[in-house]
Structure 1
């Protein structure tokens, strides 16, 4: 028996009590696994998110909500960004007046987006335990392509409302019918000799701005 036969036999055993004409929606799946692995307050949850994002080589910035334009402007100036793509729901006030705002549009090609210096988006939810930010093509996040092609991504996380402890908690907030992008740090891969290469299938630099009502 080869590996394929072993896998298929396990699947058949697992489905032995399922009617052949039954669909996924007709079969109850227990969801009794842990929803989180510790009890944390908002401050602890945000600290853990920042720590795990940094472990993945994202650059984390914490600020008050009123300071978002200043922080984003500084990050764009540090990169020398002149053309910035931003979904329509990203406030104009977040972007400096001296940059060209590029709209997120269906007609953009990968070449068009590669010519953009940076992208600024919000997020749908952020997972503290895994250091992950999730985009679901919401109004302040735009199409998936804009967070995958440009070399620099600035992502704003509103804390504490968008920060959860665990992946199960994040999934409960997401619509499975929407396109999702799960991001843990900047894009990176390694070859057989474990030489790390960044920016292969996503941004080379990821700045995560955690914004809260009070001072960061």
Structure 2
């Protein structure tokens, strides 16, 4: 028996056969629920945290992934974004259609609005992109984008080399991936980001900016 035969045999044993069609009239019989009978006895969260501890854990894990983490409140956000773009030397900043206007009210940079007709080459010439997020996962240091209007299409956060992502804390922070899945819409396009884009070769030489931004800056927006 080949490896392929063994794998297929295990699949057949795991998937129950469809129930016989006892309904009158034509039409296919609905198959079994693929999720039925799957044990879900894993821990949904590892430990108990206050909202403040949850945000601190997120910040620590983001830093571990080499993201740059900043904290500010509503009044401090526009000058902070202005400073981050200036330190980067950004002359152009890509703006999703639903980004709150006051976020970049003091930026003083040329705003590039996302257009469906924009090519990858045009997006690559943009210096920075600023977005919101759907939520963030503290235990894994992961940011999730779902294509909402304050985040824009997936491509605008994968092509520019510098991504600044604003997370409203503590409302947009959950402890674990299972909790995140409960709050996310599976019908939306989801992008899960854990630090800057990076890869390592067989010698473990790390290269950043391979299939996404080389630099990820995260702003934790909440009461100071």
- TM-score, normalized by length of structure 2? 0.90
Structure 1 contact 121–140 (Cα < 8 Å) conserved = yes
Matches of 2:32 and 2:68, distance apart in 1: 41
Distance 1:55 1:47 in 2: 12
1:92 Cα deviation after fit: 2.2
In structure 2, the gaps of 5 or more residues are 21-28
2:200 counterpart of 1:167:
no
CA contact (8 A) 2:16 2:32 kept: no
2:45 counterpart of 1:49: no
Aligned counterpart for 2:82 among listed residues 53, 73, 84: 73
CA distance in 1, matches of 2:126, 2:31: 45
1:190 to 197, 200, 208: 200
Unmatched tracts of structure 1, length 5 or more: none
What's 1:11 paired with? 11
How far residue 5 of structure 1 moved from its aligned partner, in angstroms, is 2.0
Segment of structure 1 superposing worse, 92-101 or 193-202? 92-101
| TM-score in terms of structure 1 length | 0.93
Distance 2:72 2:5 in 1: 55
Query: Which of 27, 40, 47 does residue 49 from structure 2 map onto?
Result: 40
**Cα pair distance change 1:64/1:190, threshold 3 Å:** same
Equivalenced residues, count: 214
Provide the rounded CA distance (Å) in 2 between the counterparts of 1:17 and 1:106: 45
Q: Does 1:83 align with 2:92?
A: yes
CA positional deviation for 1:26: 7.1
Cα separation, partners in 2 of 1:107 and 1:36, compared to 1, 3 Å: same
Larger radius of gyration, structure 1 or 2?
2
Residue 144 (structure 1) aligns with: 154
CA contact (8 A) 1:73 1:94 kept: no
